[in-house]
Structure 1
Amino acid sequence: MTASRSANTIETASTNEYYPHLFEPLDLGFTTLKNRMVMGSMHTGLEDRFYNYGKLAAYFAERAKGGVAMMITGGISPNREGWLLPAGGTMNSKADVINHQRVTRAVHKHDSKIIMQILHSGRYGYHPFAVSSSPIKSPISPFKPRKMSIKNIEQTVKDYARSARLAKQAGYDGVEIMGSEGYLLNQFLSRHVNQRSDQYGGDINGRMKFAVDVVKAVREAVGEDFIILFRLSVIDLVKDGNVMDEVITVAKALEEAGVTIMNTGIGWHEARVPTIVTSVPRAAFVDFTAEIKKHINIPMMAANRINMPDTAEKIIADGQADVIQMARPFLADANWVNKAKNGQTDRINTCIACNQACLDHTFENKRSTCLVNPQACYETELVYKKAKKPKKVAVIGGGVAGMSAAHVAALRGHEVTLFEAKDVLGGQFNYAKVIPGKEEFFETVRYYINELEHLGVEIKLNTFVDKDMLEKAKFHHVIVATGVVPRSLAGKLEGADLPQVISYAELLSGEKAVGNTVAVIGAGGIGFDVSEYLTANHGQSLDEIGPEGLKDPDYRPEPQSISEWREEWGVTNDTDYQSDGGLVRPKAIKPIRQVYLMQRSKGRLGSGLNKTSGWVHRAHIKSHGVIQVAGVQYDKITNEGIWVTNSQGQSQLLRVDSVVVCAGQESVASLMPNVGDAPDAQYHLIGGAKLAAELDAKRAIRDGAEVAAEI
C-alpha cells in the first residue's frame, strides 16, 4: 500500500489570490505536487519513433515551463500485442530507456513531474496481434482479437511491471495504468466485451482481477516512493457497461492494490455519446468523479471538458475532486497554469474542443497539433524568434488568419497595423460562435483581441483598404487575409435573388431571419451548422444576444445545461446509476423548425465532416428531425418554395418559407498585386483569401503564424 493520502478536506488554501484551491500543493506522502493541475495523456504521434523524442522532449518542456505540476505521456505499450499501431511506442528494453530519458530530463529542468502512461490497446489495436478478454471484434479496428489465455494474461501482468520498472529507470516520477476508454483493462472490467467464465470473467470480482493484479505487480516492481495513477472508467456509456456499484468496487480494490491517485475516464471510444467535443458542456461528468471520491481515501482526479480556471477552481473548492486533469487545453496554451496563477485568465488561449488538429490527426496517423495553437508539437520547427530588425507590417483582414498573423508578427517585435472592414474582429468565427454547442468559439476571438491589445497592435475597424493607401503608408510587408465571402447562386439558379433566399452569413450575423420551414442548400460543415442552429431548442437567438453582445469580448451565451444535454444523449443524471454503462433512453427532441438539408451529390450527407466530431453532427440533425436529401438538382426557387429534381429524376416542390445558401465560398484577394507589378512592400496571401475551400480555420491560423514567423 502506497503512502499517499487523500485531500478530502482542504484546511488551508494557498496564497494565490486568484485561484487559491488550484494552487494549493498536494502532499502525496513521499512527494508533493506543487499545484493541482495535471496535463493528461494525449497521443501526439511523436511517441512512436525514437528519432522524434527530441521534439517530444521540447513539447513537454514547454508545458513544464508553463507551470503545470505533473504531465502524463501519450500511451506507451508494455509489449507488442499492446501496440496501438504497428511498431508503436514501447517501454520494454534498455534502448527505450535511453530515448525516454530525453523527455524526463527536459521536464525536470523546470520543476515539473512526468508520468509515463502504460497503455495496452487490446482489441483497439490496429494490427493482427491484437488480443482481448474475449474474441469480439471492435468497431474501430479491422482486426478481430485473439482471446487471451491465462498464461498470456499472467505474462502481460509481468510486462506491465517490467515497463513500469524501466520507466522508473528512465527518470519518470510515476506511471499511469490506462484502464478506461475501452482499452484492454477496460475490456476485462466490463461485460461489454468480457464473456469469460474463468477467474478473469463472471462478476465484477473476476472481471477486475487482471487490473488489480497489474497494479499489485507494478507497485512491487517500483517500490513505495513512486506515483501510480489508474485511469478508471467512471461511466462506460456502452451497452452492458458497468453500473456505479461495480465501479466503486473496482476503485476500492485498486486503492488497496497500491494506486496513488485515481484518475477519471469517461466512456469508451466506440460509445455513441460524445464526451469531449465542443458541444459537451464544461465539466459535464465531474459529479460521477465526485461519487467515486466519496468511497476512496486517495486523491481523485477530475477530467473531461475542463478548460478554464474558474471551472477547475470550483471543482476543487466544492470538494468534487482533489486534482484537475486537462489534456487539450495544454495543447492550446502551454502557459495556461502561469497565466491563471498571475490572474491573466483573459489571455489564456482556450481549447475549443474542436478535435480537428489533435484527435482527428491521431486517427489519420498524423502528428497532432492544435487548431488555435499551431506551435503545439512543432516547438522546434515553428519558432517565433525576435526580429533582428523590426519591420512595419500591415495585416488586411481581422478573421482568425489575420489575427494569427498580427499576433505572431507583434510577438516577434514588428510594428503591426491590422485593418478590418467590419466593426468587429473574428471573421467567420463570428458565425460559428452563435451555433448552439459552439459557444467556445467566443473564447478564441476574445483571446486574440486581448493579445493584440496587450502587444500594442494598432487595430483599425470599419476600414476599407486600397492599394494606394498601402503604398502611401510605406509598409515593408503586407499580409492579405481578406478571407472569403459566401458563394451566391444569383444568376445561376432561377429565383435565387428572391428576398426569402439568404446566405449563411446573413442568417448567422442576425442580418436576416427565416420562417418556420427552411431549405438549406449545401451539406458541408456550414450546412450542418446552419441546420443545427435552425432546429436547436436551447441556446439564445441572435435577437436575444443583439449586435452589441456579439461584439463584446466578455459576452458568453448560456450553453445547454448538463442535465438537458444528458437527457438528449441518453446519459443518466443519477450519479449512483444502476443502468448498464450509465445509459438511459434519450429524450425526444422537438425541433423549433422543419429543415430540409440538401446536397447535389449522392450518398450519405456529412461524409466529409471530421472523423471524431462528424458523427455527432450527423446524430444531432437526425434527432432534431432534419430531413436529409441527397442527389438533388436545384431547378428554381419561387414564392411557393424550391423546386428540385430528386435522385429518381422526379420533379417536386418543397414548400418552404426560406432558403439558406451554404454552397461554398469565394476568395477575396483583390488587394494582391498583379503579376509583373513591383510594389515596395512584400505581399503575402493567407487563409481563405489564398484558398476558398470548405472553411478551414486550422489552415488559416497556421498560415498566419507561419508567414509571420518568417518575415
Structure 2
Amino acid sequence: MYETIQTPFNYGGLTLKNRIIFAPTTFGLSDEDYFEKIRRIAAGGCAMIIVGDVPVGKSHFGKSLFDKKGFAFYQKVIGIAHDNDCKVCAQLHQSDSNIKAMLKYVPGVLTKRISMQELRPLLNNEVAPYITNMPHKKVKEITSAFGTAAVLAKKAGFDMIQIHGDRMCGSFSSSIYNHRTDEYGGTAENRARFAVEAVSAVREKLPDMPIDYKLAVRQENPHYGNAGVIEDELKVFVPMLEKAGVTSFHVTLANHSDLENTIPPKNHPYFGEPGCFLKFCDEVRQYTNLPICGVGGLTDPDFVEKQLADGRIQCAAMSRQLLADPDWVNKLKNGHADQIHRCVRCNKKCLGGLMQHQGTHCIYEK
C-alpha cells in the first residue's frame, strides 16, 4: 500500500526518496528546540524539509546567511537533515513589512493597547504604500539579492531554492497592494516582473540549481488572500515564471488576511475539507507541465495516495501533520498506518502557540 507516496521522484531536478515534503513553518523556538524538531521530522522519513523565511539580505529579526552565526545555524540544520537522508530547501524571501511604519505601533504593542491580532491588519495596511512608493533602484537591489542569497544557500549545503511567492514577491504581484505606474505595476505582466527578476537572478548565478516557486494564489468569490496572484492571472504568471527558470511549483493560498485562512482549521467556513488548496493546483496545471506540490489539510494517507496516484499533484507538503506525527512516512513504510497520530486541524498548539509566543507545538506533544 501507499506505493506512490513511497516512490522516489524527480522534483524539478532534485531526486526525492518519496513524495512527502515538510512545508515551511515558523516555529518561534530556541535554536536547540528547533534543531530537535528538525531532527525528528527528518528522521521520520519525509523526503525534504523546506526551511521557511530565509532572508535575502542581512536581518535584525531572524537568521541570515549573510552573517557567520546565521550561516552556521543553517549549516547545522542541513547537517541534521542530511544525516537522516533528508533533502533541504531554502525558502528565500524578502519581507514586505515597512520597518519605519512598524515603529509607530511599537508603543501600543508594548503597553498591550494593541494585541498581536490587531497588529496584523495594521501592518497589512502599510504594505500598499510601501510597495507602490519603493524607489526603482531599491527594487533592483532586492531582486538581485535573491541571486546572491542563493549562492550562499548553496554554499551552506541547501539542495534546492524556493522563491517565496508571498511576502514582497506576492505584494508586487497583487493589484491590491501594487499601485505602481512604472514597469513593475499596472498589467499582470508588469506586476509579475519583480518575481520573474528574483527567479532570474537565482538562475543566472546558479544555472543548474532546482528552483521551486511558492505560488500564492488569491481567490475571489469568496475573497481570500490579498497578496499573490489572482486566479484569472495564473495564465500570465505561470509561463513567465517557468521561462525565468522555475522548475517546480508549490501551490497554496495567498497570505495577508487572517492566518486561519492560510492555516485553516477543520471548522473553516471555506477551507475545512482535506486537500483544501488543491483546487489551485488544478488551475496551475492548465498552464504548466512542471511538477506541482500541493498543500492544505493533507493528513489522511489514503487521500494523499490517491491525489498522487491520480497525478493531481506530484508531491504533498505537510506541516501540522508532521508536527502531530513526525513518523507519518515511516509508519506507512512499516505498515503501521493505523498508529498514525492524525492532525485534527484544531490550531490550538501550532498556530495558537505561535500567536501566544509559546512556540509552534502540537496537542499530541507530552
For the 8 Å contact 2:247–2:291, the answer to whether it is kept is yes
Superposed, 1:325-474 pairs within 5 Å as: 325-372=317-364, 374=365
* Structure whose CA Rg is larger: 1
Please tell me the residue identity of whatever aligns with 1:141: L
Partner residue in 2 for 1:27: 10
Kept in 2, the 8 Å contact 1:92–1:162? The answer is no
Which residue pairs with 1:235 in the alignment? 218
The list of structure 1 runs, each at least 4 consecutive aligned residues, that deviate by more than 6 angstroms after superposition, is none
Match for residue 43 of structure 2 among 36, 61, 65: 65
Q: Flag the 1:42–1:141 CA change in 2: closer, same or farther, 3 A.
A: same
Are residues 324 and 107 of structure 1, via their aligned partners in 2, closer, same or farther at CA, if it must alter by over 3 Å?
Answer: same
| Equivalent in the alignment of 1:157 | 143
1:184 & 1:205 partners in 2: Cα distance? 16
Report if the CA contact (8 A) 2:218-2:253 is conserved.
yes
Distance 2:165 2:136 in 1: 19
- Alignment match of 1:320 (pick from 305, 312, 319): 312
The residue aligned with 1:418 is none
1:177 aligns to what SS in structure 2?
A: strand
1:179 to 142, 145, 165: 165
Report the Cα distance in structure 1 between the residues aligned to 2:138 and 2:246, rounded to whole angstroms.
24
**Distance (whole Å) between structure 2 residues aligned to residue 223 and residue 94 of structure 1:** 26
Residues 101 and 240 (structure 1), Cα distance of their counterparts in 2 relative to 1, 3 Å cut: closer
Identity of aligned residues (%): 30
Question: 15, 37, 57: which one pairs with 2:20?
Answer: 37
Report deviation, 1:214: 0.1
Q: In the superposition, relative to structure 1, how do residues 37 and 240 fare at CA in structure 2: closer, same or farther (>3 Å)?
A: closer
Matches for 1:626-705 after TM superposition, within 5 Å = 705=366
Change (3 A) 1:171 1:55: farther
Residue 351 to residue 272, structure 1, CA distance change in 2 (3 Å): closer
Cα distance per residue 1:339-377 (max 9 Å; x no partner): 1222211111111111121222323333211122x2xxx
Mind listing any 5+ residue stretches in structure 1 that lack a counterpart? 1-17, 47-51, 131-136, 375-704, 706-711
- Secondary structure at the residue paired with 1:97? helix
Aligned to 2:81: 107
Question: Which SS does the other structure have where 2:200 is aligned?
Answer: helix
**For each residue in 1:264-302, what CA deviation from the matched residue of structure 2 results, as whole angstroms up to 9, or x when unmatched?**
121324159835212211112312202212321210111
What are the Cα deviations for residues 9-44 of structure 1, in whole angstroms up to 9, with x where unaligned? xxxxxxxxx111111211247531111110100000
- Aligned residue for 2:123? 141
Is contact 1:140-1:270 (8 Å) kept?
no
Displacement after TM superposition at 1:101 (Å): 0.8
CA-based RMSD: 2.6
Question: What is residue 96 of structure 1 aligned with on the other side?
Answer: 70
Q: What is the letter of the counterpart of residue 45 of structure 2?
A: G
2:176 is the alignment partner of 1:197: no
Alignment of 1:475-490 (within 5 A): none
CA distance in 1, matches of 2:199, 2:205: 10
The structure with the largest helix share of the pair is 2
- Matched ranges for 1:175-324 at <5 A: 175-180=161-166, 183-224=167-208, 226-236=209-219, 237-238=224-225, 242-270=229-257, 274-275=261-262, 276-279=264-267, 280-324=272-316
Amino acid of the residue matched to residue 247 of structure 1?
L
Kept after mapping to 2: 8 A contact 1:38/1:326: yes
Aligned amino acid, residue 108 of structure 1? H
Quickly say closer, same or farther: Cα 1:258–1:98, change in 2 above 3 A: same
TM-score normalized by structure 1? 0.45
| Distance in 1 of aligned mates of 2:360 and 2:89 | 20
- Rounded to whole Å, the distance in 2 between the matches of 1:54 and 1:260 is 33
Determine helix, strand or coil for the equivalent of 1:325.
Answer: strand
Instruction: Describe the shift of the 1:241–1:334 C-alpha distance in structure 2 as closer, same or farther (beyond 3 A).
Output: closer
SS of the equivalent of 1:74 reads strand
Amino acid in structure 2 at the alignment position of 1:287: K
Give the match's secondary structure for 2:21.
strand
TM-score, normalised to structure 2, is 0.85
- 1:116 — aligned with what? 90
Distance change >3 Å, CA 164–CA 129, structure 1 → 2 = farther
SS of the residue aligned with 1:331?
A: helix
Task: Measure how far apart 1:319 and its partner are.
Answer: 1.7
8 A contact 1:24–1:34 mirrored in 2: yes
Q: Check the 8 A contact 2:12/2:248 in 1, yes or no.
A: no
**Which whole-Å CA distance do the structure 2 matches of 1:99 and 1:273 have between them?**
30
Give the Cα separation in 1 of the matches to 2:68 and 2:278.
39
**Following TM superposition, by how much is the alpha carbon of 1:143 offset from its aligned partner in structure 2, in angstroms?**
7.9
Aligned length in residues: 339
User: Offset of 1:255 from its aligned partner?
Assistant: 1.2
Q: For residue 53 of structure 1, report the CA deviation from its aligned partner.
A: 3.4
